[in-house]
Amino acid sequence: MNDQTFSFPKRKSLIKKKRKRKEKEKKKKRRGKKDETNVSNTGPVRHLFEIGQVHTLTVFSDIYFPKQVKNELLVQGVWGSLENAIGGHLHVENVADSDVDAKLATFAPFKLHRADASVIFLAERLKPSVVLTDDLNLRKVLEYLGMTAVGSVGIVIRCFKLGRFGKTELEAMLDKLFAGSTLYLSKAFKARVKAMIDGLPEP
């Protein structure tokens, strides 16, 4: 690997990044500020579309997509539904192939796809509140960079906490995600999610 290639950071560096991220989140909660700028990968949009819940993405004020992610969603037949659901809060940004290549080289050990690399580049440029992804490797890179990653499960839970629907509807929606979408989750993770939901009070 050359000097520009990713190498695992020291433990102290990771702890420092996590501490800064938590402090930032606490300040945001105290201000009552909603997420305004978000960058999204393909996964959450596709998985929510598969269960008829793409409109839950309106829980975020604005969502930015790299052109590479838009192209994937167009091929999958999802983009039109996304435009109808989000409207003017949907933004597409160009990310040059050379910038994608650079991110792929830097984070080569994670074996990212080109769309994933474009998400990293755009997120570093825009400094979003959260990055939407269900990809485990991309999530690891984002967390290393000090960013907050939220997946399909986290999106519907946010909607519930904001009072968009009750616990019965939340549980039904999660069941659909687990059984009726292409989202892969381990049995252990599903069990943890269900246990957490049981402990959540109605908003």
Identify the band that residue 68 occupies on the pLDDT scale cut at 50, 70 and 90.
Answer: very high
Q: Say yes or no to pLDDT of 142 above 90.
A: yes
Question: Distance of CA 24 to CAs 4, 19, 155, Å?
Answer: 28, 9, 20
Please report where in the chains the tokens 């702890």 appear, as a residue: 15
Please report where in the chains the tokens 């960013």 appear, as a residue: 147
CA angle, 189 then 190 then 194, to 5°: 115
**Who has greater pLDDT, 31 or 140?**
140
Listed in sequence order, the residues at least 6 apart from 5 whose beta carbon sits closer than 8 Å to its beta carbon are: 105, 106, 108, 109
CATH 3.40.50.1010 fits 31-203, yes or no: yes
pLDDT digits (tens, 9 = 90+) for 100-113: 999 999 999 999 99
What are the domain boundaries of the chain? 31-203
Q: Are 60 and 35 in contact (CB under 8 A)?
A: yes
